[in-house]
Structure 1
Amino acid sequence: MNNTNGRQSGIPDCVLITGATGGIGKALAREYAQAGSRTLILQGRDSRRLQEVESICTGLGARVVTQLLDVRDLNALTAWLEDISHREHPDLVIANAGVNINTGAEQQGESWDDVLRLLDVNVRAVFATVHGVLPAMRARGHGQIALVSSLAAWRGLPETPSYSASKAAVKVYGEAMRDGLAREGVRVNVIMPGYVESQMCFDMPGPKPFLWSAAKASRVIRQGLRSNKARISFPFPLNLGTFLLAVIHPAVSGWFLRRMGYGA
């Protein structure tokens, strides 16, 4: 497959998205189909929702390859990624699969089993995705990998400590990998959304300021990836606020969070 024309136009010919059945994943699949990507490779673990996304993107003119897979099965995930990388040569891989947990309505705390499940999806599977697709990109001398973090990576929220920590790990990992791979022609970008309409977002406790639609978020993400921005973080007011919370003293940032309705 010749992907030169796609790279020159700024529209990747072949895009692989994990977690393609979630709010952002589904919107990204639609966004790239509308933009003119010829092949979409979509992973999910809900067959009905995966077929729904496939139908939408096929209707927009894209060729769609689906994979029903739980990313917690790291061996199966890696084997599939290595195989699909050699068969389809994805230009862009978006590691989007993620889950969230919280401390509960009475703030009783996160269960240990839930913490382990979250770390498997949000950290280990993201790292495994990079390792699965990177060898083929290195061999070709080009490619792009986008890792979905969160504005919660700037400063952990008391209701979602494990989620915040997992997204901080993804942020730091992505930034380090970007620098390490720059000379090899492989671009790495970190995506840090704020609150985006999705079931996962609605299930989160606490206020949700500056809530964006998934469609709006996907447009901003695609434009940021096209420009190869190191960090695609939005919306601006929330990004600035969470960044400032990260750099001031924790006692002060904790006070601000409580005043905003987060935590006890």
Structure 2
Amino acid sequence: MTAPRSLLITGATGAIGSALARHYAAPDTHLILHGRDLERLDAVADACRQAGADVETSRVDLTDDAALTEWLEHLTLPDIVIANAGQNLHAEPGCEMEDWEATSRLLAINLRTPMAMAERLAPRMAERGHGQIVFLSSLAAWHGLPVTPSYSASKAGIKAYGEALRGWLAPRGVGVTVVMPGYVSSPMCEAMPGPKPWEIDAPHAARRIARGIERNRARVSFPFPLNLGCWSLAVLPAGLSQRLLGVMGYGRPS
């Protein structure tokens, strides 16, 4: 595979983001890596440089509109933008609902930030005549999980946005790919409540994602058995899907 000339990866200190950075790191590749954890960001950047990549890093606050705009406007426009930064949330024991301030922060980074990045970068890509924007959704976007309602909502939102934007940008030569992974081993995954069937490691996930990006696929969803199961929940009657989720261990703890 010919390595892309330039890639921007947000959330590059997380499991999937760092695995993607290492996957793409190669001579003649320019990586722009974003992360908030300076120590981990430097470690990922050093590993990519050792693989021959040219690397620059950023710790800009992605949820600050002014800071995000200034950062993106001063970047050399990448060939591929992977909007990977995100977080998870669930209601704490004894609470009726998820904390609203935490929910607002989650929606800002999981949904609003990737939309803002596309709003600023897609017109430049369209003017240039090529480029690709990759959004990280989740299999939870097929049908919301009772144990993580806000997370499910954010991933369903970015799925719908990415699918719509693909049709909007395709005539201008810009591709859009929505990635819907299942459970990928990471601290965030470990903190999620409920069973984690068909959990895979981050390098495996990165390879699957990279293949989908290379082919400009509209959707990259995996692993297949879990994808099929989650998709089935979306097409079954809603009441039946809710009962099945409870039986499988994803209902609200009593």
1:112-142 CA-to-partner distances (Å, cap 9, x unmatched) read: 1011101111111010111121122112110
Identity %: 53
Q: C-alpha separation between the residues in 2 aligned to 1:162 and 1:78?
A: 26
Equivalence map 1:4-23=2 (5 Å): 10-23=2-15
Per the alignment, residue 169 of structure 1 pairs with: 157
Q: C-alpha separation between the residues in 2 aligned to 1:115 and 1:65?
A: 31
Q: Does 1:159 align with 2:147?
A: yes
Equivalence map 1:97-112=2 (5 Å): 97-106=85-94, 108-112=96-100
Which amino acid letter does the alignment assign opposite residue 54 of structure 2?
R
Choose the corresponding residue for 2:23, options 31, 39, 43. Answer: 31
Q: C-alpha separation between the residues in 1 aligned to 2:95 and 2:181?
A: 25
Q: CA deviation at 1:255?
A: 1.0
Q: C-alpha separation between the residues in 1 aligned to 2:28 and 2:209?
A: 15
Per the alignment, residue 196 of structure 1 pairs with: 184
Equivalence map 1:69-148=2 (5 Å): 69-84=60-75, 88-106=76-94, 108-148=96-136
Choose the corresponding residue for 1:50, options 34, 38, 41. Answer: 41
Q: CA deviation at 1:250?
A: 1.2
Q: CA deviation at 1:10?
A: 4.5
Q: CA deviation at 1:104?
A: 1.8
Name the stretch that deviates more: 168-177 or 108-117.
Answer: 108-117
Q: CA deviation at 1:89?
A: 2.6
1:120-178 CA-to-partner distances (Å, cap 9, x unmatched) read: 11111010111121122112110000000000000000110000000000000000000
Q: CA deviation at 1:195?
A: 0.3
Q: Does 1:243 align with 2:234?
A: no
Q: Which aligned runs of 4 or more in structure 1 are off by greater than 4 angstroms?
A: none
Root-mean-square deviation (CA, aligned residues, Å) is 1.2
Choose the corresponding residue for 1:221, options 205, 209, 214. Answer: 209
Structure 2 residue matching 1:16: 3-state secondary structure: strand
TM-score scaled by length of structure 2: 0.96
Count of residue pairs the alignment pairs up: 252
Q: C-alpha separation between the residues in 2 aligned to 1:105 and 1:55?
A: 40
Q: C-alpha separation between the residues in 1 aligned to 2:107 and 2:100?
A: 11
Q: C-alpha separation between the residues in 2 aligned to 1:199 and 1:83?
A: 33
TM-score scaled by length of structure 1: 0.92
Q: C-alpha separation between the residues in 2 aligned to 1:37 and 1:156?
A: 41
Q: C-alpha separation between the residues in 2 aligned to 1:108 and 1:253?
A: 22
Structure 2 residue matching 1:71: 3-state secondary structure: coil
Q: Is contact 2:143-2:230 (8 Å) kept? A: yes
